[in-house]
Structure 1
Amino acid sequence: MGQEKKKFEKIINIKNKKASYEFEFIDTFKAGLVLKGTEIKSIREGKVSLTEAYCFFRKGELFIKQMHIAPYSMASSYNHEAVRERKLLLSKKELEKLESKFEEKGLSIIPVRIFINDKGLAKLEIALARGKKVHDKRQSIKEKDTKRELARMKF
């Protein structure tokens, strides 16, 4: 018989590359997003920026701020706002765990990557992280350089 055609063939995996350089990840979680209108279509086109985004708690709920989703090009006047607060969907147990750790000094919640799962839903991977010091950043640059050199020597 014929091969089954996948419903969502285009793989969307947008990463926040700056996050791994600036922060040390302690724990990661996968959260759903509450989106409006044409936002999911823009995400499927890959027009999302996570570089300035951060997460915060309000009344026991987790929100993301400064995540830029570009307006959908094919939409008419009913397009969405590019930058707005969006609610993140996590289980109550995960929210309580995150909120208790978030209150510790020096910890923050940052978005690491956004992707589309098998069911076609947009998911956001967030990390509980601690900011790196200058010497830690130098160490990560050294590690990148050694990996690059080893890759060159293999070829």
Structure 2
Amino acid sequence: MSAKPNRFEKSVNIKNKKASFEFEFIDTYVAGLMLKGTEIKSIREGKVSLTEAYCVFHQGELYIRQMHISPYSMAASYNHDAVRERKLLLNKKELEKLETKSAEKGLAIIPVRIFINDRGKAKMEIALAKGKKLHDKRQDLKEKDAKRELQRMAFD
């Protein structure tokens, strides 16, 4: 008798690919997530979208908004809201530092990736970031193309 295929992934690493193109990262932090019952199961299935997510401070605590976690398919009536405000867990010193830095003009706190650590907890990597200008984005694209061209020449 064959074993059932496991629908949960062993290692979850969901990235916000748009973030590195739109923003220049200044500093990164790893924060815990406060989740409700079925959210962790959806994260383990890899059903998370970070493209429109952003972080805000409310009464000295950091929250993430617009992060979409799809409802868990096996849950009946005890499912979670797909897009709700979720609290991020950081040290007090880190929170104070982020709050003062994010108050500066042009800086934002954005989610970079979600992963499951070795203890089975959902963690989020967030970054203090500054928006890129159009010429910065063009420069990054030129550098990527040059790297790709060098790699092609090396294999030929």
Range with bigger deviation, 139-148 or 62-71? 139-148
Distance 2:48 2:151 in 1: 31
Q: How many residues align?
A: 148
TM-score by length of 2: 0.93
Superposed CA RMSD in Å reads 1.1
How is 1:47-62 mapped onto 2 (pairs within 5 angstroms)? 47-62=47-62
Equivalent residue for 2:149? 149
Q: In the TM superposition, what is the alpha-carbon distance from 1:36 to its structure 2 partner?
A: 0.3
TM-score by length of 1: 0.93
CA contact (8 A) 2:9 2:46 kept: no
Is 2:76 the partner of 1:76? yes
What amino acid sits opposite 2:137 in the alignment?
Answer: K
Structure 1 runs of 4+ aligned residues shifted over 3 Å read none
Q: In the TM superposition, what is the alpha-carbon distance from 1:154 to its structure 2 partner?
A: 2.2
Distance 1:154 1:66 in 2: 43
Identity %: 80
Rate the CA distance shift 1:128–1:85 in 2: closer, same or farther, 3 A.
same
Equivalent residue for 1:125? 125
Equivalent residue for 1:115? 115
Rate the CA distance shift 1:20–1:32 in 2: closer, same or farther, 3 A.
same
Deviation per CA, 1:80-108: give whole Å up to 9, x if none. 11000000000000000000101111000
Q: In the TM superposition, what is the alpha-carbon distance from 1:144 to its structure 2 partner?
A: 1.1
Range with bigger deviation, 143-152 or 23-32? 143-152
Equivalent residue for 1:67? 67
Distance 2:104 2:52 in 1: 22
Structure 1's unaligned 5+ residue stretches are 1-7
Deviation per CA, 1:134-153: give whole Å up to 9, x if none. 00000111111112112212
Deviation per CA, 1:36-95: give whole Å up to 9, x if none. 010000000000000000000000000000000001111111111100000000000000
Equivalent residue for 1:14? 14
What amino acid sits opposite 1:22 in the alignment?
Answer: E
